Amino acid sequence: MPGHCDGMRLDQAAARIFPDFSRARLQSWIKSGALRIDGEPTTQRTKVIAGSVLELHVELEPEVAWSGESLPLDILYEDEHILILNKPPGLVVHPGAGNPSGTLVNALLHHRPSLESLPRAGLVHRIDKETSGLLVVAASLRAHTSLVDQLQQKTMRREYFAIVRGTMTGGGTVKAPIGRHPRLRTKMAVVPRGGKEAVTHYRIAERFRAHTAIDVQLETGRTHQIRVHMAHKNHPLLGDPVYGGRLQFPADASEAVKASLRSFRRQALHARKLTLVHPGEQEEVIFESELATDLMELVAVLRADARRADP
C-alpha cells in the first residue's frame, strides 16, 4: 500500500489503486471478500496502513447476455477510450422484451466485441427510440468510470433541439421532480412527492406560427425528462405520441403544411451537442451533429409557412 493512502478508508484507497473500477463495484467486492487486505476480508470503513498488501481476486465476466449483429452504425468519432454515435430515429438503444435484437447495443457488440465486459455494453446514458442524435459509449472500464462520474457530477453537458406546440414567449428553467405516472404506469409525470429531482433549461431558437423551436440543456437525466417537462409547461413536443396531445395547425395552414405535420409521427427531439472531458486526454471535447433529415425537413416547412404568413 503506497504511503499516500495511509489512514484512508479501504474503499477510498481502493478507488485510487484501481481507478478502472467504479466505487460501487469496489465496495461490492469488499463486501463479498474479493477485495482484501493482506489476504484477510474486511469492511469498506477499515483504515489501511502503508505497506500492507491490497489483494483483488475477481474474474471479470461478460456484463450482458446480448449478442452482436451486423447493423449500420453512424460513428462520428472513435478511439481506444470512447465512441460517439449519431443515433437515427426509430432505433431502440437496449434489447428488451419487445426488442430482443436489432438494437444499438447489438450493433455495438458486433462492431467492438470487447464491450460485452462493460456495464450495459459501455452505454452510460440513453435517448428514447424515436429521439435522434448523439450518444457517448465507453470503450474501457476506466472511461466508463470517468463518464459515469461526469454524469453524476453534472459536468457532462447534453444539449438538444426540440420543436414544441404553441408559441413560447421566452426561455426559462423547469425544476419539477419526475416519477412514474400515478395511474398510467407506462408514462412518466411530474410527481411533487416521491419524484426524482429533474432540471431542464431551455431557450427559444426560432418561432413559427403555431410552434416554437427551442434549445434545451439537461442538468439531470430522468426518463422522458424533456418530453415530460415541456408537457408540464403546456408546450408538449410536436409529434410526441405519449405526451403531445392533439395535433395543432397554424391558422389557415396550407394542405402541404398540414400533410407535413400529420406525417411527422415522432417527438421532434434531437440530441445535437455533447460536451465532456475525454477520459484519456483529460481535456474538454465537444461533439455536434446535424438534425436528422425528417426534422430538418419539418423545420423548413414551418419556416416557409411563417414567411408566407408575414405581411
- In whole angstroms, give the CA distance from residue 16 to residue 2: 10
Nearest of 91, 161, 153 to residue 124 by alpha carbon = 153
Please enumerate in sequence order all residues whose Cβ is within 8 A of that of 61, keeping only pairs 6 or more positions apart, or say none: 117
Quick one: pLDDT at residue 62?
Answer: 52
Q: Contact 5/16 with Cβ under 8 angstroms? A: yes
- In whole angstroms, give the CA distance from residue 173 to residue 203: 9
- In whole angstroms, give the CA distance from residue 156 to residue 149: 9
Q: Contact 179/189 with Cβ under 8 angstroms? A: yes
- In whole angstroms, give the CA distance from residue 110 to residue 116: 10
Quick one: pLDDT at residue 163?
Answer: 98
For helices 293-309 and 255-263, give the axis angle rounded to 10 degrees.
Answer: 150
- Which comes out higher in pLDDT, residue 245 or 46? 245
Quick one: pLDDT at residue 60?
Answer: 58
Residue 198 pairs with which residues in a beta bridge?
A: none
Is the pLDDT at 155 greater than 60, yes or no?
Answer: yes
Q: Identify the helix (H) or strand (E) that includes residue 305.
A: helix 293-309
- In whole angstroms, give the CA distance from residue 237 to residue 245: 9
Most confident of 18-32, 43-57, 127-141, 184-198: 127-141
pLDDT digits (tens, 9 = 90+) for 71-106: 999 999 999 999 999 999 999 988 876 777 899 999
- The radius of gyration of the chain from alpha carbons, rounded to an integer in Å, stands at 23
% the chain with pLDDT above 90: 64
pTM above 0.95, yes or no: no
Quick one: pLDDT at residue 64?
Answer: 54
Q: Residues with catalytic annotation?
A: 128
Of the pLDDT bands very low, low, confident and very high (cuts 50, 70, 90), residue 67 is confident
pLDDT digits (tens, 9 = 90+) for 271-306: 999 999 999 999 999 999 999 999 999 999 999 999
Of the pLDDT bands very low, low, confident and very high (cuts 50, 70, 90), residue 4 is low
- Which comes out higher in pLDDT, residue 49 or 254? 254
